[in-house]
Structure 1
Amino acid sequence: MTTTPSQDALADLDRRHVFHPFSVPGEHERAGPRRMIVSGRGTTLTDEHGRTYLDAMAGLWCVNVGYGSVEIADALREQALRLAYYHSFSSMATDTPALLAARILEKAPANMSKVLYGNSGSDANDTQMKLVRMYNNLLGRPQKKKFISRLRGYHGVSIASASLTGLPGMHKMFDLPIDGVVHTRAPHRLWEALPNESDADFSARLARELEALIIAEGPDTVAAFIAEPVQAAGGVIVPPAGYFAAIQAVLRKYDVLLIADEVVCGFGRLGTWFGSDQLGIEPDLMTIAKGVTSAYVPLSACIVSEKVWRVLADESRGATFSHGYTYTSHPLAAAAALANLDVIERDGLLEQVRLRGAHLQARLREAFAGHPIVGEVRGIGLVGAVEFVAARDPLTRFDPLGSVGAAVTRACLERGVITRALPESDSISFSPPFVVTDAEIDEIVGVAREAADEVAATLA
C-alpha cells in the first residue's frame, strides 16, 4: 500500500527533485517551493496548509473556465475509458480531433481551412516556422525564410519560438535568437510614442519602421511577421487604434505572411472568440493553445488558411509532410477541448468576459489613478496590467528594472491574491478565470492597491 507523504515531506521532495521553469535553480534547491497548491475551485486555489488564494492570473493566462469543471473532468474520464490514445500518422484518425477541428474553424476567421494539432504554444510556433519554410520552398522561393517578430512579444521557449520571443532575458543564456529572426518595435505607447503623437501617427510610424526593416533585410528574404493581438507576457500591450491596419498594408505590399499568435487572446480572453476578431487582424496562420482546453490538459494547434493550405497540398506533388508528434491529435486532449467549448457556450462566458472585463478595467483605473509610482494602467477584456515607474515627469524606469513589480506581486501573495510580475519591466498583470465575480475583482484590485502602497512606502 502506498502511503501519502506529509505536506512538508512533499515540499521537500519537490525541493530536492523538481527542476522548476522560470525559477532560480539554486534558490529553489535551498528554500523549496514558495507555495504548494493542492486544490482549486472556480477562481480559488488552496495550498498545502489550507490557505486560500484568489487566482487573478488563471494559472498562466489559461484556466479560462475556472478550476474544478465537472464537465471537463467527466469528458476526460469517458474518453480515457473509450479510447485513451491513438496516433494520427499515415492518415490514421480518431473522432474527437475531427469534431474539435470543425468547432474551431466555425469560430475562426472565414479564410481558415485546416487545424494541425500540437502540445504547447511553443511547439505550435515552431511548427508555424516550418510551415512557412515549406510554403516558400514549394513556391520556389528558397531565400524567403526570415521572420519578423516584435520586441516584448512572447511566442514560446523552444530554440525557435524563444528566438521569436522579443525578450532579451530569454536569449542571453541560450545563444539566441537564431539566424533568420529579427525584431521590430512594440506598440507600447508609454515608452515608445513621441510626445503628443496621436494613435494614428504612432501606428503609421511603426508601419514605416517595419517597411524599412523589410527593405533592409531584403523583401525577397522576409517570409512572415508574427504578432499577438495583445502582447501578454511582454506587458499586456494593447495596440493603438489603426495599428494592425497599418502593419497589414505593409505585409501585403511585400507578400509577407501574417501569423496571429492567439495563445493567450484566443477563446474569449478579450470578449470575442479570437483577438483577431477584436483588433481587425486578417491572419494567414493562427497559433492557439492555453484557452482551447482551459489548460485541463495540454493542447495547441496551428490553424492554416486556405491560401497557405492550397500551396502545401497542391504543390507538394505527393511528398509526405514529415512533421508531427506522438501526441498530435490526441483524443483525450480533444475531448477536453470540446467539453471546454461547451462550457463557454452554455454558460455565456464570452458575454461574462465583456461584462466582468469592463468592471476590471474601470476598477484598475479608479484604484491606481494618480498613484505616485504608477505610470500606466492598460488592458482590454479580462486582461490588464499596471506598470510602475520611478517618476512620472519625466517618465523614469526603476533601477534595477523589475524589482518593484516583483515586490508588489509578493505583497499580493501574502494577502491571498496571485498576480504576476511580467519579465523585463515593472508591470503586474491580471487575467482571472472567466467565472470571476465583480466582488472578487474588487478584492483583487483592492489587494493590488494595498500591495503597491506598501512597496511605495518602502521606496520612500
Structure 2
Amino acid sequence: MDTLPNSIEARDGRYHMHSYSNARVLQEQGPLIMEKGEGIYVYDNNGKRYTEAMAGLWSVGLGFSEQRLVDAATEQMKKLPYYHTFSHRGHTPAAELAEKLVEIAPVPMSKAFFTNSGSEANDTAVKMLWYRANALGTPEKRKVISRLRGYHGITAVAASMTGLPMNHMSFGLPLPGFLHTGSPHYWKDCEPGETEEQFSVRRAAELEALILEEGPETIAAFIGEPVPGAGGVIVPPETYWPKIQAVLQKYDIMLIADEVICGFGRTGKMFGTETFDLKPDIMTLSKQISSSYQPISALLLSEKMFEPLADESNRIGAFGHGYTGAGHPVAAAVALENIKIIEERKLVDNAAIVGAHMQKRLSEFAGHKLVGEHRGVGLIAALELVADKETKAGLEKPGLIGTPMMNNLLEAGVISRAMGDAMAFCPPMIITEAQVDEMMDKVGDCLDKTAADLGL
C-alpha cells in the first residue's frame, strides 16, 4: 500500500471516520482504497484485483459494472433528479417500484413504504407498530423481541434489536423494551445429545416463556432474518421457523421478516420468506433491491398492518414520518431496472444452481483441521473456524483465527469477512461455477497457511 504522506490512504485516514473500524488504527494506517469494479471483481488503487466474495456488504447482486443500472440512473437524473413523497406528492419511479414490490411479494402485502437503508426500514417498522398499537387502543403493546446474534441495523432502535455486543457496547443500548431470545444456531448452541428437532422445540419454548414473563399484551412483534447474516450466516434447523411462528400466532404477535440480506435471490428463492415458508406481517428490504448502486430500502405491509395506520393518519391528519430521500426517483429507477435484470437473466436460479456448487466446494473443507462447521443456503455461506474440532473451541477470544484467515484471503485476492471466527461468503449473484472454483482454491490454500501461521 502507498504510504506516502500525501497519499489518498493517508489523507482518508486523516479526515474520514469509517464505519466498523478502529478509529486510531485507521488514523495511523489509512484504509484499503478501491478504485474500480468489474463483474465480481474490484481493484484497489495499486491495480490489484480482488474477488469480492462479500458482494460489498452482502449487497451487490449484479456485480460492479452493470451498464444498464448506470443508464437507468443517468436517464432518471436527466428527467427528474429529485422529488419527494411527502404531503400527497409522488413520482413515477416510486409508484412503479411500490407496485412491483407488492406484486412479487411472497405473501399477500398491501403497501410499500420507502426508506434509505435497512436500519431505517427496521426503525420505521417499530414506529409503525407503536403507531398501530395506539390506533387500536393498546398503547402498552410496544415491546419487540429479536434474537441473539441477529443483525437489524445501527440506528438507535435497529441497534437495540440487533443482538451483537459490538452494536451495544459504549452506546448504552439496547433501549428499554427491546428483548432478545436465543439464536437459531444448532451447531453452536445445542445441548449435549440434543437433536435439531429438540433444539427447535427448546428455542420455541424459550420464546414462549419470555412472552409470558413480559406479558403477551405488551409484545408488539418478533423480528428475524430468515438466515441471520452478520451474526454468522446461521441457517436454522428445518422445524425452527414453523415452531417459532406457531408461538407468535398463539399470542397474536406480529412477525417482521428482515429480508435486507436474504431478499432478491440470495437464498436461491426471490425471498428468504419463501425459502423458509414464513408468513410475515412486515417485510423489510434493502441491499440487493438496487444492487447497492443507489441507497434505497422499503417496508412491505400487510393489510392487517396497514389498515390501522391509515385510520389513525386519517384521525390525526397525517402519518407524521418520512425521510427526505426516501423513494428517491433515481434510486427507485435503478431498483426497478435491477429487479428487471434479476428476472430476465434468471439470477435467482443462478443463485440456487451456482450456490449449490459453492456449498459443495465449501463442504469439502469439513475435514480440515481448522473447520468446525460449514453452513449455508443459495449463495450465502460460512466456514466456522476452530482450534479444537471436538470441543468446537477457538483460541482465547473470538477472531484470533478468523482475522488472520481474512487477512490471508485478502493477500490472496479474495475479500471475505471474519465474524468472530466465522468466514462469510456472499458473492455477487452473477458469479459462475468457474469463478467459485477459483475462489475456493484460494480458500483451501489460505486455510493451510492460517493453520501453519498459528501453529495449529
Note whether the superposition's TM-score is higher than 0.5.
Answer: yes
Partner of 1:453: 448
Q: CA deviation at 1:193?
A: 1.3
Are 2:90 and 1:93 aligned?
yes
Percent identity of equivalent pairs = 46
Secondary structure of the residue aligned to 1:395 is: coil
Are 2:295 and 1:277 aligned?
no
Task: Give yes or no for contact 1:152–1:165 (8 Å, CA) kept in 2.
Answer: yes
Task: Give yes or no for contact 2:151–2:161 (8 Å, CA) kept in 1.
Answer: yes
Partner of 1:441: 436
Task: Give yes or no for contact 2:375–2:381 (8 Å, CA) kept in 1.
Answer: yes
Question: Any residues of structure 2 matched to 1:174-185 within 5 Å, and which?
Answer: 174-185=171-182
Question: Any residues of structure 2 matched to 1:75-224 within 5 Å, and which?
Answer: 75-224=72-221
Q: CA deviation at 1:310?
A: 1.2
Letter in structure 1 aligned against 2:165: P
Alignment partner for residue 362 of structure 2, among 361, 364, 367? 364
Output the CA distance in 2 between the equivalents of 1:69 and 1:37. 17
Task: Give yes or no for contact 1:7–1:48 (8 Å, CA) kept in 2.
Answer: no
Per-residue CA deviations over 1:308-347 (Å, capped at 9, x if unaligned) read 1111113444321000011122111100001101111111
Per-residue CA deviations over 1:405-440 (Å, capped at 9, x if unaligned) read 111010000001111111xx3101000001111111
Alignment partner for residue 336 of structure 1, among 330, 334, 337? 334
Q: How many residues are paired up?
A: 451
Are 2:317 and 1:313 aligned?
no
Letter in structure 1 aligned against 2:453: T
Task: Specify whether residues 29 and 315 from structure 1 end up closer, same or farther in structure 2 by C-alpha distance, changes over 3 A only.
Answer: closer
Output the CA distance in 1 between the equivalents of 2:393 and 2:327. 48
Partner of 1:322: 320
Output the CA distance in 1 between the equivalents of 2:6 and 2:421. 33
Output the CA distance in 2 between the equivalents of 1:164 and 1:259. 12
Output the CA distance in 2 between the equivalents of 1:397 and 1:250. 34
Per-residue CA deviations over 1:172-209 (Å, capped at 9, x if unaligned) read 11010000001000011111112332222211110000
Alignment partner for residue 25 of structure 1, among 8, 23, 26? 23
Secondary structure of the residue aligned to 2:326 is: coil
Letter in structure 2 aligned against 1:375: G
Task: Specify whether residues 42 and 7 from structure 1 end up closer, same or farther in structure 2 by C-alpha distance, changes over 3 A only.
Answer: farther
Secondary structure of the residue aligned to 2:315 is: coil
Tell me which moved more, 440-449 or 63-72: 440-449
Per-residue CA deviations over 1:281-334 (Å, capped at 9, x if unaligned) read 100001000010000010011111111111111344432100001112211110
Task: Specify whether residues 7 and 120 from structure 1 end up closer, same or farther in structure 2 by C-alpha distance, changes over 3 A only.
Answer: farther
Secondary structure of the residue aligned to 1:432 is: coil
Q: CA deviation at 1:397?
A: 2.9
Per-residue CA deviations over 1:333-389 (Å, capped at 9, x if unaligned) read 1000011011111111111111110000000001x1211121100000000000011
TM-score (norm 2): 0.97
Task: Give yes or no for contact 2:376–2:382 (8 Å, CA) kept in 1.
Answer: yes
Letter in structure 2 aligned against 1:456: A
Listed as ranges, the gaps of 5+ residues in structure 2 are none
Tell me which moved more, 57-66 or 439-448: 439-448
Per-residue CA deviations over 1:234-281 (Å, capped at 9, x if unaligned) read 000000001111001100111111000000000000111110001011
Alignment partner for residue 414 of structure 2, among 414, 417, 425? 417
Partner of 1:3: none
Q: CA deviation at 1:458?
A: 2.3
Task: Give yes or no for contact 2:33–2:44 (8 Å, CA) kept in 1.
Answer: yes
Letter in structure 2 aligned against 1:454: K
Partner of 2:383: 386
Are 2:267 and 1:304 aligned?
no
Task: Specify whether residues 183 and 75 from structure 1 end up closer, same or farther in structure 2 by C-alpha distance, changes over 3 A only.
Answer: same
TM-score (norm 1): 0.96
Output the CA distance in 1 between the equivalents of 2:356 and 2:5. 40
Secondary structure of the residue aligned to 1:387 is: strand
Output the CA distance in 1 between the equivalents of 2:394 and 2:212. 33
Q: CA deviation at 1:8?
A: 6.0
Secondary structure of the residue aligned to 1:386 is: strand
Listed as ranges, the gaps of 5+ residues in structure 1 are 1-5
Secondary structure of the residue aligned to 1:318 is: helix
Partner of 1:353: 351
Output the CA distance in 1 between the equivalents of 2:101 and 2:373. 35
Letter in structure 2 aligned against 1:321: F
